[in-house]
């Protein structure tokens, strides 16, 4: 070790007399250019940044400290964050975090949702973890997808896959995915938005993508990889980084992953060598048709603008939403659309939108590049929160914003490369909301072309110029009848408008109906719709004098 590495161990010993060379602490280093970050990313697999101070914040052990000094990075020990990390590791496992679920609790949640909502939810076993696939070792786990969608409504529906837990130590993504499932199912029938999303789309939620590794992380260990033991490593060094093991551009980018067995970014001995990556890759292929026609490893072929569906790989931490490419700093041919949707979604959670390679560093074999590169589906990596072992208070403070960002993503599944460019409709209401057939109902809503996050570049904003309402059919349904809406102030002359329409209910059948609102802007782009219920009361029964 260098002269400063023993200092780290001494400081750790102050925090805990039993400190060992593999004890972990928090250090800070100055941020730098892409080359500077690339070597860090290759070694650590993650580069969380304190944007306020312009520093990179890393969790290290004694060997990491030595490596940082040898590379000239000049680490500085953060005693406050290190003490907090130490206390959390000693005092807390996941059961001690009231807001997080263990692997077993996650499976129990899935089973409970399927039992409670048999026509809306089902479970699909897409494969096995490494431990389950390997005879003679630990029991291991199934990789279980919670599929949500109304089976009573037939049709080829847009699909949204959200994967979480690929990196075991990242607590928050699994719980956000679980909360999204809970929101969809708990609000079905009472929320017009949740109802139409479940009726007209499919959600494929892989909550625990790396359950073997997660069980190690549940004990407070900083396990990132799966548990495939190739020999020669110990502790959290065992395993393969599943997010460097996918087929697209596997091991083709210098510094994009590591060939060292014990590295946190070890790519595995071959493309999709790990059963978890094999299962996810095969399942994604069944969900999304290839709309990026051309040579598979091409970085310039564009996906069709008519592509449906969306793929999210949820990670932590960093407060960013990333989009392809990660394998090159060059922009993809769908770059403008990627920027539009990430600037829309980050408006809700105040994260930073960025291309993966320019926002972090070059990577290869990552799941989002794999989904987009092989199939053309818009694919994103969400980096949640501020740390791996996130405090429940932070998770809960960000939950509403992250759920709203997921809900927005779900509302554009029909045309994710197009709808985000148009005004976002929201806040739809009906007055009165329950009437007899023939009553005129006032439907109001708002629409804005200004709901973009401009923290990393800017998005063109237009005036809202038109809006329509449709009844019981989505606005893009060819059989939908468009009812014009007006600006509440009588003039479409702003990027944000309040909308109103008087809708006659003559001839409507008794029961619940749904009204969709969609707005367009000066460029002609139509945006994500809002929705509201209107209930038609059954007519009262009239009985003659002879009724007994």
Residue 28 domain-assigned? yes
3-state helix, strand, coil in the chain (%, to 5): 30, 25, 45
Task: Give the whole-angstrom CA distance, residue 249 versus residue 99.
Answer: 37
At 496, which helix (H) or strand (E)? strand 496-504
The last residue of a domain, from among 59, 74, 91: 91
For residues 307 and 160, state if they share a domain. yes
CATH number at residue 72: 3.30.70
Strand partners, 379: 311
Helix (H, G, I), strand (E, B) or coil at 459: coil
In a domain, 416, yes or no: no
CATH number of the domain at 361, please: 3.40.630.10
160 & 272 share domain: yes
Give me the residues paired with residue 531 across strands.
Answer: 516
Task: Note the pLDDT of residue 361.
Answer: 82
Segments in the chain below pLDDT 70: 1-24, 33-39, 41-42, 45-54, 80-97, 540-548
Q: CA 18 to CA 3: how far, in whole Å?
A: 21
Task: Find the helix packing angle between 335-349 and 392-411, rounded to 10°.
Answer: 140
State whether 279 and 329 are in the same domain.
Answer: yes
pLDDT at 91: 40
- Cα separation, 106 vs 388, in Å, equals 18
Write the DSSP symbol of residue 341. H
Flag whether 545 is in a domain: no
pLDDT at 2: 45
Among residues 411, 438, 461, which one ends one of the domains? 411
Q: Which residues touch 97 (CB under 8 Å, ≥6 apart)?
A: 171, 389, 392
Same structural domain, 105 and 67: no
460 with 377, same domain: the answer is no
With beta carbons less than 8 A apart as the criterion, state whether 181 and 203 touch: yes
Other Cβ atoms within 10 Å of 417 Cβ, number: 25
The structural domain count of the chain equals 3
Let me know whether 84 and 116 are in one domain: no
Of 62, 45, 59, nearest in space to 89 by CA? 59
Residue 161 lies in a domain: yes
Note whether 177 and 288 are same-domain residues: yes
Q: What is the DSSP letter of 95?
A: G
Task: Look at residues 48, 67, 91 and tell me which one is the last residue of a structural domain.
Answer: 91
Can you give the residue range of the structural domain that contains 440?
A: 422-537
Q: What stretches of 319-439 adopt beta strand conformation (E)?
A: 320-323, 352-355, 379-384, 424-431, 434-436
pLDDT for residue 38:
64
Contact (CB, 8 A) for 508 and 536? yes
**How much is the pLDDT for 547?**
41
Looking up tokens 């009726």 gives: 199
Is residue 526, in this structure, part of any structural domain at all?
yes
């Amino acid at each position: 070790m260098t002269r400063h590495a023993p200092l780290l161990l001494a400081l750790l010993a102050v925090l805990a007399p039993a400190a060992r060379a593999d004890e972990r602490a928090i250090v800070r280093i100055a941020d730098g250019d892409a080359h500077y970050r690339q070597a860090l990313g290759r070694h650590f697999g993650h580069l969380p940044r304190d944007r306020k101070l312009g520093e990179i914040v890393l969790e290290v052990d004694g060997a990491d400290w030595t490596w940082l000094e040898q590379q000239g990075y000049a680490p500085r020990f953060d005693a406050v964050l290190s003490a907090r990390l130490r206390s959390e590791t000693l005092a807390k496992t996941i059961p001690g975090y009231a807001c997080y679920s263990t692997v077993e609790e996650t499976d129990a949640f899935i089973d409970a949702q399927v039992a409670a909502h048999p026509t809306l939810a089902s479970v699909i076993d897409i494969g096995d973890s490494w431990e389950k696939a390997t005879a003679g070792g630990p029991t291991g786990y199934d990789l279980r997808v919670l599929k949500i969608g109304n089976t009573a409504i037939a049709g080829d529906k847009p699909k949204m896959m959200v994967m979480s837990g690929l990196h075991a130590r990242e607590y928050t993504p699994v719980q956000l995915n679980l909360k999204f499932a809970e929101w969809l199912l708990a609000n079905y029938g009472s929320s017009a938005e949740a109802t139409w999303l479940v009726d007209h789309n499919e959600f494929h939620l892989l909550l625990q993508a790396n359950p073997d590794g997660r069980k190690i992380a549940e004990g407070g260990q900083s396990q990132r990889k799966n548990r495939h033991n190739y020999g020669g490593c110990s502790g959290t060094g065992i395993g393969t980084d599943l997010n460097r093991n996918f087929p697209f551009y596997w091991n083709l980018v210098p510094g994009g992953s590591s060939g060292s067995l014990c590295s946190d970014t070890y790519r595995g001995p071959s493309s999709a060598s790990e059963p978890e990556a094999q299962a996810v890759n095969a399942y994604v292929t069944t969900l999304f048709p290839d709309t990026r026609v051309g040579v598979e490893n091409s970085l310039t072929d564009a996906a069709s603008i008519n592509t449906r569906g969306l793929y999210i790989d949820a990670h932590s931490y960093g407060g960013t939403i990333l989009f392809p490419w990660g394998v090159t700093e060059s922009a993809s041919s769908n770059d403008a659309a990627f920027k539009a949707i990430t600037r829309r979604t980050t408006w809700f959670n105040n994260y930073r939108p960025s291309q993966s390679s320019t926002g972090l560093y070059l990577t290869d074999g990552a799941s989002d590049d794999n989904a987009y590169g092989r199939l053309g589906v818009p694919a994103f990596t969400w980096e949640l929160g501020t740390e791996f072992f996130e405090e429940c208070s932070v998770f809960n403070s960000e939950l509403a914003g992250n759920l709203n960002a997921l809900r927005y993503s779900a509302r554009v599944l029909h045309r994710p490369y197009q709808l985000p460019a148009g005004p976002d409709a929201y806040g739809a209401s009906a007055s009165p909301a329950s009437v007899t057939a023939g009553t005129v109902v006032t439907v109001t809503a708002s629409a804005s072309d200004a709901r973009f996050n401009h923290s990393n570049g800017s998005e063109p904003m237009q005036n809202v110029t038109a809006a329509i309402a449709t009844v019981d059919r989505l606005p893009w349904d060819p059989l939908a009848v468009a009812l014009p809406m007006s600006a509440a102030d009588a003039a479409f002359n702003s990027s944000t408008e309040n909308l109103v329409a008087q809708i006659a209910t003559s001839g409507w059948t008794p029961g619940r109906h749904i009204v969709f609102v969609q707005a367009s802007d000066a460029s002609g782009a139509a945006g994500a719709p809002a929705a509201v219920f209107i209930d038609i009361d059954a007519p009262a029964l009239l009985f003659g004098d002879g009724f007994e």
